[in-house]
Copies of this chain bind each other. A is one copy, B any other.
């Protein structure tokens, strides 16, 4: 794999994760489904969540759980490493804000530890595990 192909793959994976964030926070569930492999494994045990296996199960969970919840997720300073022309790993710093209908608000930060897979010419998220630096659950700052 030459340098150009590697740089092109890294940029494609950055834009893949960008679509993950945008479709998640705008509740574009049809768009979000496309960023995952069918056998994706999402591990949010670091936030008190579960390990969810499979795109269908994860999208069912997300679209149900977040229907009435405002979310803002921002990703920072990706470390993408190609492990073959069709596989890669990545670490992303992240910050999120989750606002519940009852007025509680979560502000938190951590890192995504992920793997990516390319098939049919398209990169997708294959595994994602979120570790946390801190999680604050509080009443909203704004009245």
Interface residues of A (CB under 8 A from B): 3-8, 10-11, 14-15, 17-19, 21-22, 25-26, 70, 72, 74-80, 91, 93, 95, 97, 99, 107, 109, 111, 133-134, 136-138, 140-143
In the bound complex, how far is the Cα of B93 from the Cα of A17, in angstroms?
12
In the bound complex, how far is the Cα of B25 from the Cα of A8, in angstroms?
29
Evaluate whether A22 and B142 lie within 8 angstroms (CB atoms) in the complex, with A72-B133, A134-B70 already known: no
Q: Is the CB of B25 within 8 A of A77?
A: no
In the bound complex, how far is the Cα of B18 from the Cα of A135, in angstroms?
21
CB-CB under 8 A from A91, the residues of chain B are 18, 22
In the bound complex, how far is the Cα of B7 from the Cα of A91, in angstroms?
20
In the bound complex, how far is the Cα of B6 from the Cα of A35, in angstroms?
23
CB-CB under 8 A from A11, the residues of chain B are 7, 10
Return the 5 tightest CB-CB contacts between A and B, nearest first.
Answer: A18-B77, A136-B142, A138-B142, A74-B76, A72-B109
CB-CB under 8 A from A10, the residues of chain B are 11
